[in-house]
Structure 1
Amino acid sequence: MNKTVNINLGGIFFHIDEDAYLKLQGYLESIKRSLANSQGSDEIIADIEARIAELFNERLQNNKQVIRLREVDEIISIMGQPEDYVVDEEIFEDDPSTNQNKSTRSKKLFRDPDNSYISGVSSGLAHYFGIDAIWVRLAWILLVFGAGTGVLLYILLWILVPEAKTTAEKIMMTGEPVNISNIEKKIKDGFDNVSQVAKNVSDSVSKAAKNVDLKKGTNSIKSTSKTFFDSLADAVMILLKIFAKFIGILLIIIGASTLIALVIGLFSMGVADIIHIPGLDNLDLVNVGNTPIWLVSLAIFFAVGIPFFFLFYLGLKILINNLKSIGNIAKFTLLGLWILSIITLVIFGIRQASEHAFEESYIKKNELFIKANDTLMVKMTHSDKFNSSFSRDDFKLAHDDNGNKIMYSSDVRIMVKSTSDTVATLSIIKSANGRNYETAIARAKNINYHYEVKNKTLLLDAFLTTDIKNKYNDQEVDIILYLPENTVVYFSSNTEDFIRHNNHEGHLISDKNTNHFIRIMDNNSKCLDCPDEDFNVEVDTPEVKIDSDGIKVESDEVKINISSKGIEIKSDQ
């Protein structure tokens, strides 16, 4: 049974068994003796202890775990013995060949506060990629004034990339091994404050550290005796790392671009709705649920933006091994916001869809005093205020004669049917949607549509209007013109886009009949001045036969046979 000792190393509390404690204590004492006459020895010892505490933390699974002799031996192997390091540049001046054995160390990304203008992001990136910081700063300028993405990306890196505060972190930032020699060198460089001397010492210490690595066997990894399969494995790993970095960069670009687009959309839609910027009125027309636009924009921003933020964060994690975590509180907060946004959008969608649940029509019939053998002219009337050239199913905003805002649409359709009555009748069918019958019929009644008869000329408006409070609910107007038999009708060319023709519903006029005199007959029509009879329209009347075998109904498209064998239906379509 071993006795355990509680120690405070680098400001962190550890449990360590007695044998490991004695060895660690002797190790630190030997370091203190070797640095007794060194400038800044206290700071060097503090940084070495902080580095050892950091390495201990990496190996402990929980706070109650005891540090054993094995962990102490591993730390000493990483940090090195004090007698192995002599930070004196003159020793290495005659040994240039050792520079060739310098092993490649993986760098970690930190913000460099010692060479910063704002936060040290540029200097940290320069260390990480091995380039001069001036090129990184020029790239930020291009991103800010060129693509416009630099500010958000810089702020995110400022938040997520940790600052190199300790000497060990500053050494890891340059990719050098964090051991006694490099910690001592880094601190002495700060006291000397001479860049050229710092460079010479760095080269010398790096050579010394790599010589120690040679003593421990790492030379075999880089030696010329490496086998073919080892080289092949290294090449594959390099390719995989390059591919992973490429994926990380791609994720960062996609995530950042989407976040920037969402931010722009949030400000242009949501904020514009709050301060009532002109030009967004058309968007309010389709908002039949009267949901605040800024609230919808905010919900979309979180619902789409949070997944892409984590996509961006994943890309950074791929590129930056030591990226600072945003923390569980932030993660769960974002998750809660995302779930809340999805629920909010679902509620908005259901509310919006419910406004189109019912479609109702309001019908108004009027006599035109057009009799058999009369000739009726039909024309569409347009207005300078209302442009009917856009899509038939769309709505636009305009102002009436009193300056009030109204909606208008060209969703007007004309149909012609024959009637046995002696007088022509005009039936105007106004239709609209609503969340219930009462709402739908009220919106249908609030549709404004006008016509006029002058000297046996029927003038129909090419548009319908309604108050903007009714919103866009598929408002439309169907006009059915019932004409007595032997009536002659002439449709002007400007009615071509408004004529609806359907044989099965008994419509007698098609868009091909415009600019022609058409005689209305019993369930069919005849063109009086057409060059060929192809313009004549006949209603497809099915033939019905009833006999002992059953009932047969035949038309050009459908044949129905009802007999004792059952029902047989054949269609040509």
Structure 2
Amino acid sequence: MKKTFTINISGTVFHIEEDAYEVLQKYLINLKNHFGADEEGKEIISDIEARIAEIFSSKNAEEKKVITVAWVNEVIEIMGTPEDFAEEEGEEEITIASEAKRKRRLYRDPDHRVIGGVCGGLGAYFNMDPVILRIIFTVLFLVTSGAALLAYLILWIAVPKAINTTQRLEMRGQEATVKNIEKSIKEEVKEVKESYKKFKESDTFSKGKKSMEAGGDVVYNIFKVLLKVVVIIIGVILLLSGFFGLLGVISSLVIGHSFVSGWPMVWSPEIYMPDFLGHLVEPGTVTLGMILTGIIAGIPLLAMLYIGTKLVFRYKSNNTAIALSMIGVWFIALISLLVVSFGQVKHYKSRASVTNSQVIDCNSCSTLYLKLGEDKYNDYAEMDWEIDNYKVYVVDGEEVLVGEPRLDVIRSNSDDFVITVKSASRGKTREDAKENSQEIIYNYNLNDSTVLFDPYFFIEEGKKWRNQEIFITVKVPQGKSIYLGDNLVKIIHDIENVSNTWDGDMVGKYWVMKPEGLTENILEEQNTETE
């Protein structure tokens, strides 16, 4: 019993004995090494494998057996080996002469066709010039009133086309051996090269090449002009942006607003930066911060201005050292500004608060009236910027920083009304933050059962903004009521109530503290309206 393999040769599956497989594999490897790995060699090997598959298929159809060593040796004898190619020239001529006498097969010749390759195939079969056969077909077409055309069509349909090299060799009566396959493919390659060479040397190729070059020049010139236009447009945009951007930065830093405000691509905040920063940072750092900010914003704008002028006016300059210097200055300014900013941020590191409470001395009061005091700064000019519920008013030429307190109402743990004021602030340390909290100025006035809360709290003159806050809490005993004045909506902050009424809708009404929470006192409101 012999071991068998299943192999695929040129798309056809065969069963082959182990020793036969070894002989066939060695033969194919020998052929591949001889013809090489280039495209021409691959094509020769492909045609050789197709011919081997054809021989095996014909023998297998007759005997229907597994491929044996005898079959492989027979194929090798038919196809030939690379060693056989070194035979003497005389022997080659004898071989070729004997091969020329082999039986030919009729195929349509696709390589020498005008319409379907019928005349080319007949010329190869009868060893005639295809031109003579075409003349004969033309004459017969005229003599037979078109009957020859029908014969041509029948041959076109019935006769197969010579697709591979083996069929082309059979069409000329040559055996499909390795030597003949190699010779046929090399002749085809040579014919293609000669045809291409003739085409390159022809007037048609020269004229076409000149036309392509002329068309390419036209496209190149159009693209070049369009590119120049685009570059100039970009240059103009960069030039204008850099110029007006510099004006915006300089005027914003110096006079507080830009006279080119509202223009496209212009940075122009309506803030006088020195005064603005003066409320936030320590003295002495404002000027340095402004200079560093101007450098950081100005150098990129200068670069835009320079690049824009260079693109528009197309001048050449060797300024690598200047460019590197400007980049170095920009990075130094950026690092310096980060260091200065980090030093100022430390003033907001810690947070502390101070709480003061006052019991309302009004035992007979069942209702406490909460109202907002007069806004003393309503007639003064207000700056166009805010910091977290802070406003800046100009009083007698001086800027005054004021903040809005927040008012809440909760249940009291005693039988008295109690008002607590919690002052909170930030600082470098908790002690510093506590000191900032104690320096916040806030007042409210008590007149019998009416409390007037100031609409603002103040920071002492010369002190900086450290996120100071005031939280007012009115504690209401159970069973007693409060009245929220209409203007109090400016400072009340998320007062919890049973009906979940919005703060803005709570003002102008009476509210009684019940066990379940703050509830609207409708009865008190009706009595007030009756009075």
Q: TM-score normalized by structure 2?
A: 0.50
* More helix by percentage: 2
Larger radius of gyration: 2
